[in-house]
Chain A
């Protein structure tokens, strides 16, 4: 059964870069049917899609964040990553990694990232 786990710093300073990694177990990240993605949720608020990437490198992203977001896949480690540059307090959220294309299942447990000096 596919399982995903986020990792990365829980605190990032304003204007710096947020970097997260998602480790995949129970399946290969190079599986052709899989897209790998990120969704975030500000505390007490709803879900915001960030973007998704196929192991081949094909991506689709939320245009509201696209200029600051980079996604990548590392098949050798069965991991994929997210970076968000020039962060502000509004980037404070629980960040979830997940798999899927039209719908998303399963999700990681999520990791809280706080942007603060």
Chain B
């Protein structure tokens, strides 16, 4: 089945820009969605369809997708952004349909 690969961890200083990648074979041909999960909480959708934001999600969160890599970018990182982030796709070519990446722990230094 289709595999999504994320780095286990990313660290960034407050006020800087965090970049979290999600790799997959020709992922640019799929729609990628991103979730933020803070400790002890349920995941929250922060980006859908590669680059759209649900209402209430700050514009500091943005996404892009091309080739074999999708990217979630968090600008002007705040301490409150520290969380696990998961990418997800719908794979119409697989019986598994819904595929998640392994998750990336964002640490704000």
Which residues of B sit under 8 angstroms from A109, Cβ to Cβ?
A: 41-42
Q: Which of B48, B96, B102 contacts A103 (CB 8 A)?
A: B48
Q: Chain A interface secondary structure, helix, strand, loop or mixed?
A: loop
Cβ-based interface call for B44 (8 A): yes
Is A105 within 8 A of B45, CB to CB? yes
Is A107 within 8 A of B97, CB to CB? no
Which residues of B sit under 8 angstroms from A101, Cβ to Cβ?
A: 90
A47 to B100, CA, bound (A): 7
Q: Measured between C-beta atoms, what is the minimum distance from B76 to chain A in Å?
A: 24
Contact with A along B30-48 (1 / 0, CB 8 A): 0101010000011111001
Task: Count B interface residues, CB 8 Å.
Answer: 23
Is A105 within 8 A of B48, CB to CB? yes
Contact with A along B84-105 (1 / 0, CB 8 A): 0010101000011111111100
Which residues of A sit under 8 angstroms from B54, Cβ to Cβ?
A: 105
B74-88: which have CB < 8 Å to A? 86, 88
A64 to B97, CA, bound (A): 12
Cβ-based interface call for A62 (8 A): yes
Band of interface residues on A? 20 to 34
Which residues of B sit under 8 angstroms from A110, Cβ to Cβ?
A: 42
Which residues of B sit under 8 angstroms from A104, Cβ to Cβ?
A: 33, 35, 43, 45, 88
Given A103-B33, A108-B42, A109-B42, A46-B102 contact (CB < 8 Å): yes
Cβ-based interface call for A96 (8 A): yes
Given A102-B90, A109-B42, A46-B103 contact (CB < 8 Å): yes
Q: Which residue of A lies closest to B92 (CB)?
A: A102
Which residues of A sit under 8 angstroms from B45, Cβ to Cβ?
A: 103-106
A46 to B22, CA, bound (A): 14
Cβ-based interface call for A49 (8 A): yes
Is B43 within 8 A of A47, CB to CB? yes
In the assembled complex, 14 residue pairs joining A and B whose CB atoms fall closer than 8 Å, in A order, are: A46-B102, A47-B86, A60-B97, A62-B96, A62-B98, A64-B96, A103-B31, A103-B45, A103-B49, A103-B88, A104-B35, A105-B48, A107-B42, A108-B42
Smallest CB-CB A-B distances: 9 pairs: A49-B98, A105-B45, A103-B33, A107-B42, A103-B48, A102-B90, A63-B95, A47-B100, A46-B103
